[in-house]
Chains A and B, each alone.
Chain A
Amino acid sequence: MKTALMWFCLIVISLLSLFPFYIMIVMGTHYSEDLFKGIPILPGSYLGENLKTVLQADFIKVYGNSLIVSVVSVVLATFTSTLIGYAVAKFQFRGRKLLQTFVIITMMVPTQVGLIGYIIEMRHLGVGNTLWPVILVWAAFPFGAFFMIQFMRDSIPNDLLECARIDGCSEPGIFVRIVLPIMKPGLATLATLVFLWSWNNYLLPLVTINKSEWYTLPIFISNLGIVHRTDYAARMTALTMTTIPVLILFILGSKTFMKGLTAGAVKG
Chain B
Amino acid sequence: MNAERIINTSAASSKRRWGPRMWPYLFALPFVLTYAAFQLYPVLYSFVLSLHDWNGIGDKTYVGFKNYVQLWTNDPLFIKSLWNTLIMMAMFIPVTLILGLTLAYWTFNLTRGKRLFQTINVLPYITTPVAIGFIFSYLFDWQTGIVNLLLTKFEILEEGFYWLQDPWGSRAIIALMVIWRNLGYFMIIFMAGMTVIPQDVYEAAKVDGSTGLHTFRKITMPLLRNIIVFLVVTSVINGLQLFDEPKLLYGGWSGSAQVGGPDNTALTIIWKFVDESFGSNTRFGYASAIAYSLFLLIVLFSILSYRLTAPKEDKR
Q: A218 contacts B128, CB within 8 Å?
A: yes
Give CA–CA (A252, B274) in the complex, Å. Answer: 37
Q: B154 on the interface (CB 8 Å rule)?
A: no
Complex contact A262–B188 (CB within 8 A): yes
Q: Which of B24, B189, B255 interacts with A261 by CB under 8 Å?
A: B189
Asked if B122 and A84 sit within 8 Å, CB to CB, the answer is no
- The segment out of B28-36, B75-83, B160-168, B259-267 that lies at the interface is B28-36
Q: How far is the CA of A226 from the CA of B252 in the complex (A)?
A: 10
Question: Which one of A46-54, A55-63, A195-203 is at the B interface?
Answer: A195-203
Q: A10-B103, A87-B27, A116-B284 are in contact. List 17 more A-B contacts (CB 8 A).
A: A10-B117, A17-B121, A18-B123, A23-B135, A83-B29, A83-B31, A99-B32, A110-B294, A114-B44, A116-B49, A118-B39, A137-B38, A196-B126, A207-B277, A250-B122, A257-B122, A262-B188
Q: Which of A243-268 contact B (CB under 8 A)?
A: 243, 246-247, 250-251, 254, 257-258, 261-262, 264-266, 268
Cross-chain contact A200 with B31 (CB below 8 angstroms): no
A-chain residues with CB within 8 Å of residue B288 when the two chains form the complex: 116-117
B128-154 Cβ-contact flags toward A at 8 Å (1 or 0): 111110111011000110100110000
Ordered by A's residue number, 11 sampled pairs between the chains whose C-beta atoms are within 8 Å are: A13-B183, A17-B120, A17-B123, A20-B136, A36-B143, A83-B27, A99-B28, A115-B273, A121-B45, A218-B129, A265-B193
B23 contact set on A, CB distance < 8 A? 87, 91, 171
A72 at the A/B interface (Cβ < 8 Å)?
no
Bits for A94-128, please: 1 = Cβ < 8 Å to B, else 0: 01100100100010111111111111110000000
Query: Which of A6, A114, A268 makes the CB contact (< 8 A) with B230?
Result: A268
Do A221 and B130 have beta carbons less than 8 Å apart? Answer: yes
Contacts of B198 in A (CB 8 A): none
B41 neighbours in A (Cβ, 8 Å): 114, 117, 121
A239: Cβ under 8 A from any B Cβ: yes
B40, B128, B188, B287: the one contacting A243 at CB < 8 Å is: B128
Shortest distance in angstroms between A188's beta carbon and chain B's nearest beta carbon? 16
> Once the chains are docked, how many angstroms separate the CA of A113 from the CA of B292?
6
Listed in ascending order, the chain A residues whose CB lies under 8 Å from chain B are: 6, 9-10, 13-14, 16-18, 20-21, 23-24, 27, 35-36, 38-39, 76, 79-81, 83-84, 86-88, 91, 93, 95-96, 99, 102, 106, 108-121, 136-137, 139-140, 142, 145, 165, 171, 175, 196, 199-200, 202-203, 206-207, 217-218, 221-222, 226, 230, 232, 235-236, 239, 242-243, 246-247, 250-251, 254, 257-258, 261-262, 264-266, 268
Contact B24 A93 (CB under 8 A): yes
A122 vs chain B, min Cβ distance (A):
9
Is the CB–CB distance between A87 and B34 below 8 Å?
no
Is the beta-carbon distance between A266 and B123 smaller than 8 angstroms? no
B137 to chain A, nearest CB (A): 10
Among the 9-residue stretches B1-9, B200-208, B236-244, the one with 4 or more Cβ atoms under 8 Å from chain A is B236-244
How many residue pairs at the A-B interface have CB separations less than 8 Å? 259
Which residues of chain A are within 8 angstroms of B143 by Cβ–Cβ distance?
36
A208 to B227, CA, bound (A): 36
Q: Which residues of A contact B19 (CB under 8 A)?
A: 171
Would you list the 5 A-B pairs with minimal beta carbon distance, nearest first?
Answer: A114-B42, A117-B42, A117-B45, A140-B35, A118-B42
Known contacts A20-B139, A114-B45, A258-B122; is-contact A200 B189 (Cβ 8 Å): no
Q: How far is the CA of A140 from the CA of B30 in the complex (A)?
A: 8
Q: Which residues of B contact A110 (CB under 8 A)?
A: 237, 241, 294-295, 298
Residues of A within 8 A of B183 (CB): 13, 17
- Which B residue sits closest to A142, measured CB to CB? B35
Which B residues touch A247, using CB under 8 A? 123, 126-127
For the complex, give the distance between the alpha carbons of A142 and B143 in Å.
45
* B contact residues around A136 at 8 Å (CB): 34, 38
Tell me whether A262 and B25 are in contact in the complex, defined as CB-CB below 8 angstroms, given that A17-B124, A39-B146 are known contacts.
no
